[in-house]
Structure 1
Amino acid sequence: MSHRSIPIQFCFSSDFEDYKECIVNYKNISVLYYQFYASTDHTKVVADGCADIQFCCDQDNASSTVWGSVLAPQSIEFNAGKIYYGIRLSTSVSRRLSFLHYAELINKGVSLSGLNDFGSELSEKITHAKSFKERILLTQKWLLDLGFFEPQKMDFIDYSIDKILEEKGNLKVSDLSEYIGSSERLIRDKFTQAVGMSPKQFCRVVRFQSLIEYIIFNECKDSFSLNDLTLSSYYDESHLSKEVKYFSGLTPKQFINQTSNIVIKRNAVSTTQH
C-alpha cells in the first residue's frame, strides 16, 4: 500500500489551466504523472509527505526541480505561460530516492540537473516532447535506468507508513509501537530520519489528505456538512477546524468552498512492465 498511495495537490487543478494526471500502477510501485499550463506565476501547495519532480517545459530555458513535502501551506513560484510536467511518488518511494536524502528536502526544492547526470538531458527531452504521453514514456525510461522499479525489501518504516495509511492517520505512536514491536523512541527517531517528519506529524498529514480526497472525490459535494467532514477524518469539529487552519490557512467552510468545485479525473493504468 505504501508504495501506491499518491496524495492530491488540488492547487495545480484550481489555480492553473489544462491540468491532467494519470497514475500508472507498475508491478512494485505506483507513480502519478501530471501536467498543467501555468496561467499564473504562483500557487500554494499543501503537505503531502511526497516528492514531486517537476519540469518546466521552456524551449529556451528547460529546468527541473525536486520538491520535498511542505509541513504547512507554502507559496511556490512558477514561470507563467509555460507548461509544467511532473511526477509524484509515494512516501515510501520518495524516501528511497537514490540521488539525495529525501528527509533533507522538507520545505524546499533543489535542481534535479545539479543532482543527477540524467537530469539536464531529461529536461531537454521532456521540454521538446510533443505530448503528455510522450513525456510519461521518457520519464519511465529514466526511472527504469535509476532502478526505481526494482523490488525493495520492506522495512519497519514501510510497515509503519502502511499502518498509518490504513488507519487514515488516526493512530497514536504508542499504538504504532505496539503494532511494529519496537520502542516509541526508536520509531520516532528512525521515521523522522527517513521521512523528514515525525510519525505524529505524518499522521496529521495523512488525515488532512484523507479529508481532501473525501471532498474532491465525493459524489454528493452539495450535500455534505462539517459534521460529515469531521466524521470522515477527525475526532470532533474543533479538531477539524484547528487542523484545516494549520494545513491550509483557511476555515473549514472556506476550505470546502475552495475545494468542492475542483474536478480531478484520476485516470489509473496498470502495467506489468518493469
Structure 2
Amino acid sequence: MHYRVIPPTPALSNYLECFWTLQSRSTPSLLSPERILPDGCTEIVFNLAASFKRYHCKNTIEVQPQSLFVGQMRRFAMIEPTGEVQLFGIRFRPAGAYVFTHFPLAEMTDKIIDLDLVWNRFSRELAEKIHLAHSTQERIRLAEKALLARLDRRQDGDKTIEGAINTIIARDGLVAIDRLQKKLQLSSRQLERKFQERVGLSPKFFCRILRLQKVFKAAARHRPLPWSFIAAECGYFDQAHFIHDFKAFSGQTPAMYFSEAHEMSEYFTRKNRLSDFYNTTA
C-alpha cells in the first residue's frame, strides 16, 4: 500500500493536521480484517474505490458508506477492504473539527457514520466533487474551499484548551491532570466540559491515547520487544498495567498484536503521529 500525507493550507493549519491518501490495488483474496486503533483525532474519509466492511461484536458485519465522519475512538475498529483501496482523508487536529461541525464532539465519540448525517446536502455535494476529481491536488483544493466556507470563527479561539492539548502531546500523555488544571486555572469540571465539547474525550482519556501512541514509537526502536522496558518508558505503573491498558484499546495483548501483520493500520499508528505535526515544547 502507498500512504501519503499532505499539509493543509496555512489558513486551515490551526484546525487540520493533514490530508492523507492510501492506495492499493490488492485483490480481495489478499485482504483481511485489520484493527484501527485510537489516535486522538477525528477524520473525514472519502472512499473512492471498493467498499469497506466493518466487523462489530456478535459477528455482525456492516458495509460502510463511501463518505465517513470518524469520531474519536476509545477502542479499536475492525475493518476490511473488499477490493482496490483508494482513500482520501481529512485528519483534524484534536480540537479542530469543532469549528466545522457546530456541535459538541462528544456526540460523535465512538461513531463512524455516514458524512451525510453530519453535514446533509453540503456533504453530498462535496463527496460528489471529490469522487469526480482527477487528482489528489484537486481533491485538496475542493476540500479546503468547502472547509473554509463552513469554518465558524465564532467557535474559535479557546487558547486554554489548545495549550492543554499541546502540553499533553509534547509529553506523550504523561501529564498529571490535576496539575494541568491548576496551571490553566480551571476546575476539573470546567476542563472536562471543554475537552468533551471540543475534543470528544476527557483529558485523562486523551492522555491514555497519547501514551498508547508512544508505545508504537518505542516498539519501532526496540527489537526484540522488551515489554517491561517499554512499559516503563511509556509511563505505565508496571508491565501488568501496560498489558491491561493496551488490551483495552486493541482487544489483544501487546505480544499478540505485534506478532501479526498490520499492513494498513500501521500507517495510523507508527507513522505521522500527532507530535510530528505539532511544534510543541514541554
Normalising by the smaller structure, the TM-score range is 0.7 to 0.9
**Aligned twin of 1:142:** 146
Letter in 1 for 2:108: L
Structure 1 partner of 2:57: none
Contact kept in structure 2, 1:64 and 1:112, CA below 8 Å = yes
SS in 2 for 1:244: helix
Paired residues for 1:216-231 under 5 Å: 218=220, 220-223=221-224, 225-231=226-232
Aligned in 2, Cα 1:187/1:151: closer, same or farther, shift over 3 Å?
closer
**Are 1:96 and 1:102, in contact at CA under 8 Å, matched by a contact in 2?**
no
Counterpart of 1:183 in structure 2 is 187
Given candidates 225, 237, 244, the residue that maps to 2:239 is: 237
Counterpart for residue 57 of structure 1: 48
Distance, in Å, in 2 between the alignment partners of 1:148 and 1:246 is 36
Looking at structure 2, the residues matched to 97 and 48 of structure 1 have their Cα atoms a distance apart, in angstroms, of 20
Deviation at 1:51, TM superposition (A): 1.2
Q: Unaligned 5+ residue runs, structure 2?
A: 52-64, 278-282
Deviations 1:88-134 (A, max 9, x none): 11112023333443221111123223424431122112212223333
- Residue 243 of structure 1 aligns to a residue whose secondary structure is helix
Q: Aligned pair in 2 of structure 1 residues 127, 175: CA closer, same or farther (>3 Å)?
A: same
**Normalised by the size of structure 2, how large is the TM-score?**
0.73
Asked if the contact 1:41/1:77 (under 8 Å) is kept, the reply is yes
Q: Across the two proteins, how many residue pairs are aligned to each other?
A: 248
The residue that corresponds to 2:104 in the other structure is: 101
1:172 aligned onto 2:176 = yes
- Per-residue displacement from partner, 1:195-219 (whole Å, max 9, x unpaired)? 222211111111112222443xx4x
Gaps of 5+ in 1: 1-17, 270-274
For residues 41 and 96 of structure 1, what CA distance do their matches in structure 2 show?
A: 36
- My pick for the range that moved more, 175-184 or 81-90, is 81-90
Instruction: Say which is worse superposed, 118-127 or 93-102, in terms of deviation.
Output: 93-102
Structure 1 residue 246, shift from structure 2 partner? 1.0
Structure 1 residue 77 displacement after superposition: 6.0
* Residue 26 of structure 1: how far off its partner (Å): 4.0
CA RMSD of aligned residues (A): 3.4
**Alpha-carbon distance in 2 for matches of 1:54, 1:91:** 16
Using a 3 Å threshold, how does the CA distance of structure 1 residues 148 and 212 change in structure 2: closer, same or farther? farther
Q: What are the superposed Cα offsets for residues 144-178 of structure 1, whole Å, 9 maximum, x if unpaired?
A: 22238999423322222222212211122211122
C-alpha distance 265-185 of structure 1, shift in aligned 2 (>3 A) = closer
Q: TM-score, normalised by structure 1?
A: 0.75
